[in-house]
Structure 1
Amino acid sequence: MKVAKFGGSSVASAEQIKKVAAIITDDPAKKFIVVSAPGKRNKDDFKITDKLIEIANRHCQGEPYGHLTETIMMRFSEILDQLNLSSAIAEELHQTLEEALGSNEYDSPKVDIVKSLGEVFSAKVLSAYLTSIGLNATYTNPETAGIIVSDEPGNARVLEESFANLYALRKNSGIQIIPGFFGYTKAGKLVTFSRGGSDITGSIVAAGVKAELYENFTDVDSVFTVNPSIVYRPKQISTITYKEMRELSYAGFSVFHDEALIPAFNVGIPVCIKNTNNPEAPGTMIVAEKEPTEQCVVGIAGDGGFCSLYVSKYLMNRELGFGRKLLQIFEDEHISFEHAPSGIDDMSVVIRQNQFTAEKERIILQRIQDELNVDTIKIHRDLAMIMVVGEGMISTIGVAQKATKAITDANVNMVMINQGSSEVSMMFGIQEVDLNRAVQSLYKAFFE
């Protein structure tokens, strides 16, 4: 028995939904289907969820949003018409959206309800179409399925009792279509995961029903060793471990949400990345362990939008609790850190730049000076983090030397170097403008 999740590009149009239906029809083992909201039909198109978020923001600010509602309605109506389905689903969408926006009071839970509607009606459309072609398909709301999450709007986490609830779904007959991206709190409030969270739902469902395989369908044949927009026709990855994939996803591999592997990993369910447009391609298998190979590095990923705060203080190493106090200041300001490399008298905290607003910067710098009495504080903005990833690095001599030489050969200055404690990854901090050049040089060194 398999769980399959279809991303936004896979349900972006009637033509794509027919491909999804064919994939489901060809494999009776696919009993649980998780779907995203309709995504882009081409590079210049829009994502339904983006429009829903814009509607929520406009409503909150008292600005008109009727034209956005019409755009969403036209998209769904077009899909329904081309699938020869009733327009009742589109009418229900319109009514549900208006009810969610009914009052002038607007808060984060209501924003989450609006954001979730793309997935809800994508699942209803697919369920109706599968039924129309003779399959026994049922729309299953996450509340009915028993997906219980923490009360953190826009950043929910699944609670343990969800998995037992989901296992009970195995006794149901037919194919169950579940919208991704959200669950319900114990109090019955709809709450969404972080953006891209339909991958998380798919993994949760796979773990809950104890599937033999979780297939994640997207618009690429496999995971690549590096971003194809940076390197032309890079090598494909046939097998990768959970740890390796999580490191790559965190560092900019957009093919898979970086939190989505955890539920599947915890119960040992393999994950396969597949292409809706080319379902015969073998894809990339994500597994707990794999046989060692000569290729110690499995992939290279890079992502921009970081900044680092550097502090130095003489005899920092002898000051009990300095690191904890520094990180506590960030926690108090609700800023999570990504990396924290340190030396005997200095320490850096790497964070996402969009969290470090001018107001946050003023508060944090003042608190560090007042509470920690440091000698130096510096902020480096517009940084990129490059991750060289591979479990084989732990037993291979010369990986760091090879990587640093490649970056140097690209005439790129390294601001920071950090070896992950898991020894699965090596991180290099550089200026964001140098990202593509550095990644291309690293790819040449390790894969060509």
Structure 2
Amino acid sequence: MKVTKFGGSSLADGQQLKRVFDIIRDDPERKVVVVSAPGKRFKDDTKVTDLLLSYARATIEDTDATDIIEAIKHRYHAIGNYFDLPDYDLADLDEQIDHLSTKHYRSFDYLYAAFAAHGEYLNAQLVAKVFTHLGVSARFIDPKEIGLLVDDNARQATFDTKSYDTIAELDLSTSERLIVPGFFGYTKSGDMATFSRGGSDITGAIMARGLRADLYENFTDVSAIYAVNPNIIDKPAAIEQMTYDEMRELSYAGFAVFHDEAIIPAIQGGIRINIKNTNDPEVPGTFIVPPTEVQQSRPVTGIANSNRFAALYLHRYLLNKEVGFTLRILEILKRHQISYEHMPSGIDDLTIIFDKTLLTQEKIDGMLADIASEIKPDTLKWLPSYGIIMVVGEGMRNRIGALTEIVSPLKEHHISLQMVNQGASEISIMLGIQPDLSDLAVKAIYENIFK
């Protein structure tokens, strides 16, 4: 049995949904289908989720949302009309869209979460209606029906693993396809709460583990995961096979094809993942598998980069001699509810790297003020933009000269590094770099290693 997830670009319009239908119809093992909200149909289009967030803002601000509501309805109607779906099926979706602004929500965060979740919630209903209309029996599954529970973090929810027991009870004995909306679950209070953006991958992995699927297929708009961003390198090498850990490291640092948190349920359940292209489903794609299944490990599997980071640099003489120094820093971060990504250090220096998408200016100012007054560093600098490059590969374990192969081409391009850190797993090397030099550095490393 396979759990199959389709991203927003695969469901953007009727023509794309027809391809999805053909993929599901042609393989009876594809029993459970996890869907995202309709994505962009063309470059300057607006995703349905973004329209719903605009609707949420208008509701909070009590401003006229008529045009936004009509734009949302139009997206679902356009798909339904492509398949000549009966008007009453679309009227049902319209009623739910209208009703969103009249419900009571316990906070603005939960309002935003519920509005955003309805992109997937409505689309799953529509997909089930279309499949049945086209002759393939399908049923919409509300995550509430299968007890898909999450914690009380409305817009960055964490899955409750106790839910695997209820998911496992889902009846798969019929030929019926089960259509599950991705991206959200329910709190114990019955409120919708969403995973982080792109979280439909997480739902798919949860369903695959809970149902003990043989394979989790993740259909998107590319034919494979590539060794480097195709926007940096023209026609980069495709990755045929990679390990869970390699994918998690690369996703974290910028590979947008697969959500890094979605790897965890797959690891825990030993579920193989296959990234495939909706528009070219016969291409094998990329398999993400346990380390024991990798047939050949090349020195580097992939190179990822992201400029979404910020960093705090602190210098104080003899900080390495002070017992509890790091603990005092961590207590300040905890006080301001700030998580950090990395903390490389020297005998007199410490750098703390943050994901700046999780920070507010108020948190930054409070943290810096407390560190200055309580730690009293000789130097304290805030770097608001910080680039990270991750070079990842199982083949780097115990490989002599791996770091030289990575950093030597940077010297030739006169690129200096702000930080070098090898992870404890030994399969990744992290480089800190000026954000404006990040793409050039990735290109230099790729050409040295792959060409």
Task: Bin the TM-score by the shorter chain.
Answer: over 0.9
Equivalence for 2:32: 32
SS of the residue corresponding to residue 381 of structure 2 reads: strand
Is structure 2 residue 311 aligned with structure 1 residue 308? Answer: yes
Is structure 2 residue 116 aligned with structure 1 residue 115? Answer: yes
Question: Is the 2:311–2:385 Cα contact (8 Å) retained in structure 1?
Answer: no
* Superposition pairs of residues 95-114 of structure 1, within 5 angstroms: 95-102=95-102, 107-114=108-115
**Matched residue type, 1:343:** G
Equivalence for 1:125: 126
**Matched residue type, 1:61:** E
Q: Distance in 2 between matches of 1:323 and 1:129?
A: 57
Q: Deviation string for 1:240-263 (max 9, x for gaps)? A: 000000011111111011101110
Is structure 2 residue 418 aligned with structure 1 residue 415? Answer: yes
Is structure 2 residue 365 aligned with structure 1 residue 348? Answer: no
- Of 317, 321, 340 in structure 1, the residue corresponding to residue 320 of structure 2 is 317
SS of the residue corresponding to residue 219 of structure 2 reads: strand
Change (3 A) 1:400 1:123: same
Question: Is the 1:2–1:211 Cα contact (8 Å) retained in structure 2?
Answer: yes
Change (3 A) 1:356 1:206: closer
- Of 174, 199, 202 in structure 2, the residue corresponding to residue 200 of structure 1 is 202
Q: Deviation string for 1:331-370 (max 9, x for gaps)? A: 2222221111011222110012344443333211210122
Identity of aligned residues (%): 42
Change (3 A) 1:334 1:86: farther
By how many angstroms is 1:104 displaced?
Answer: 8.3
C-alpha RMSD of the superposition: 1.5
Is structure 2 residue 283 aligned with structure 1 residue 284? Answer: no
By how many angstroms is 1:294 displaced?
Answer: 5.9
Equivalence for 1:74: 74
Equivalence for 2:136: 135
Q: Distance in 1 between matches of 2:385 and 2:161?
A: 39
Change (3 A) 1:413 1:317: same
TM-score under structure 1 length normalisation? 0.97
By how many angstroms is 1:292 displaced?
Answer: 5.9
Q: Distance in 2 between matches of 1:188 and 1:199?
A: 22
**Matched residue type, 1:20:** V
Equivalence for 2:401: 398
By how many angstroms is 1:215 displaced?
Answer: 0.2
Question: Is the 2:244–2:289 Cα contact (8 Å) retained in structure 1?
Answer: yes
Equivalence for 1:363: 366
Unaligned runs of 5+ in 2: none
Question: Is the 2:312–2:381 Cα contact (8 Å) retained in structure 1?
Answer: yes
TM-score under structure 2 length normalisation? 0.96
By how many angstroms is 1:44 displaced?
Answer: 1.9
Q: Deviation string for 1:354-400 (max 9, x for gaps)? A: 44443333211210122222222112232210000011111211111
- Report the count of equivalent residues: 448
Change (3 A) 1:172 1:291: closer
Equivalence for 2:245: 243
Q: Distance in 2 between matches of 1:103 and 1:222?
A: 42
SS of the residue corresponding to residue 254 of structure 2 reads: coil
Question: Is the 1:153–1:191 Cα contact (8 Å) retained in structure 2?
Answer: yes
Question: Is the 2:312–2:382 Cα contact (8 Å) retained in structure 1?
Answer: yes
Question: Is the 1:89–1:124 Cα contact (8 Å) retained in structure 2?
Answer: no
Q: Distance in 2 between matches of 1:294 and 1:5?
A: 28
Q: Deviation string for 1:42-72 (max 9, x for gaps)? A: 2221110011112112222233222111111
By how many angstroms is 1:171 displaced?
Answer: 4.4
By how many angstroms is 1:157 displaced?
Answer: 1.0
Q: Distance in 1 between matches of 2:39 and 2:49?
A: 8
Q: Distance in 2 between matches of 1:436 and 1:446?
A: 16
**Matched residue type, 2:24:** I
Change (3 A) 1:68 1:305: same
Q: Deviation string for 1:166-197 (max 9, x for gaps)? A: 11014452210000001112222211111110
SS of the residue corresponding to residue 43 of structure 2 reads: coil
Is structure 2 residue 189 aligned with structure 1 residue 218? Answer: no
Question: Is the 1:151–1:191 Cα contact (8 Å) retained in structure 2?
Answer: yes
- Of 427, 434, 446 in structure 2, the residue corresponding to residue 424 of structure 1 is 427
Equivalence for 1:155: 156
- Of 271, 275, 278 in structure 1, the residue corresponding to residue 277 of structure 2 is 275
By how many angstroms is 1:103 displaced?
Answer: 5.8
Change (3 A) 1:114 1:172: farther
Q: Distance in 2 between matches of 1:403 and 1:343?
A: 22
- Of 372, 376, 386 in structure 2, the residue corresponding to residue 373 of structure 1 is 376
Change (3 A) 1:434 1:141: same
Q: Distance in 2 between matches of 1:89 and 1:325?
A: 59
